């Protein structure tokens, strides 16, 4: 029986090639000397531990979902609201909209707001509440997708026709590397080393994941002089970590 040899490889985005030019969510690590793998053995890698920070956004211009317009006079004039890049909850969206409305003097005589974004736990849908001739324009933006609304002008209180997507479909992180290609995700072969669900993570906070048991994938090379590591979401979109570096340890197993 062949002897099992395991070695730990620590990888940090801080030590990436061309630091300052490459990004912490998509970088290359150089190995010096190169790792030479015995052609008579089977070689696999698995994630041992990863530490990251919940630093990605659900609203940015690149997603096309950072602007809406509202009218306080039945559609005669419109005010554009531009949300700063960030990770927003339903309450955050409502609070920022109210902040802009207050700045513009659009608060009624009872010191209340005539546009409210309300998430309803019983139906898992969002209600946009409108009073006193206010309207909300969700056309020409993907903002409505976060709330379950089609792109249109909303003229009276209405419930979204679809389930909301407040995470912008960032429901899992895929940690990928170009030294494997036999991982199966969603029925297709991929470079994904590990998938991290985001549902239990807290915005802006660091987190550590340690898969038990470790899930091994076969290495596709016999000489490893460099290794590309990149992070995507469940839709294979590059995930912007906004410059927050991260670290992982992988296990290289030879049998």
- Six-digit token pair at 239? 């995930």
Contact 114, 106 (CB under 8 A): yes
The answer to whether the beta carbons of residues 246 and 47 sit under 8 Å apart is: no
Q: Is the pTM of this model over 0.85?
A: yes
Which residue stretches of the chain have pLDDT < 50? none
List the alpha helices (DSSP H) in 70-163. 90-103, 143-147
pLDDT at 189: 83
Looking at residue 1, its pLDDT comes to 53
- Taken in order of first residue, the domains within the chain and their CATH numbers are 5-56+170-254 (2.60.120.1100), 61-159 (no CATH)
Q: How many CA atoms lie within 13 A of 80 on its CB side?
A: 8
What pLDDT score does 2 carry? 65
């Amino acid at each position: 029986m062949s002897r099992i040899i395991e070695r730990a490889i620590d990888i940090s985005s801080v030590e990436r090639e061309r630091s300052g030019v490459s990004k912490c969510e998509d970088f290359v690590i150089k190995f010096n000397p190169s790792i030479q793998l015995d052609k008579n053995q089977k070689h696999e890698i698995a994630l041992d531990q990863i530490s990251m920070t919940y630093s990605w956004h659900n609203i940015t211009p690149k997603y096309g979902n950072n602007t809406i317009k509202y009218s306080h006079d039945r559609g005669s004039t419109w005010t554009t609201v531009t949300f700063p890049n960030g990770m927003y909850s339903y309450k955050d969206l409502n609070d920022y909209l109210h902040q802009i409305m207050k700045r513009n003097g659009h608060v009624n005589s009872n010191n209340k707001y005539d546009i409210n974004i309300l998430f309803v736990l019983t139906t898992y849908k969002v209600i946009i509440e409108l009073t006193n001739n206010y309207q909300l324009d969700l056309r020409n933006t993907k903002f409505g997708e976060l709330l379950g609304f089609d792109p249109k002008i909303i003229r009276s209180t209405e419930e979204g026709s679809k389930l909301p997507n407040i995470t912008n479909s960032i429901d899992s992180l895929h940690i990928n590397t170009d030294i494997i290609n036999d991982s199966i995700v969603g029925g297709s072969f991929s470079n994904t080393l590990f998938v991290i669900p985001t549902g239990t993570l807290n915005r802006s906070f660091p987190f550590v994941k340690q898969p038990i048991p470790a899930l091994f994938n076969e290495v596709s090379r016999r000489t490893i002089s460099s290794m590309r590591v990149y992070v995507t979401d469940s839709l294979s979109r590059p995930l912007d970590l906004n410059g927050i570096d991260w670290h992982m340890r992988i296990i290289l197993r030879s049998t």
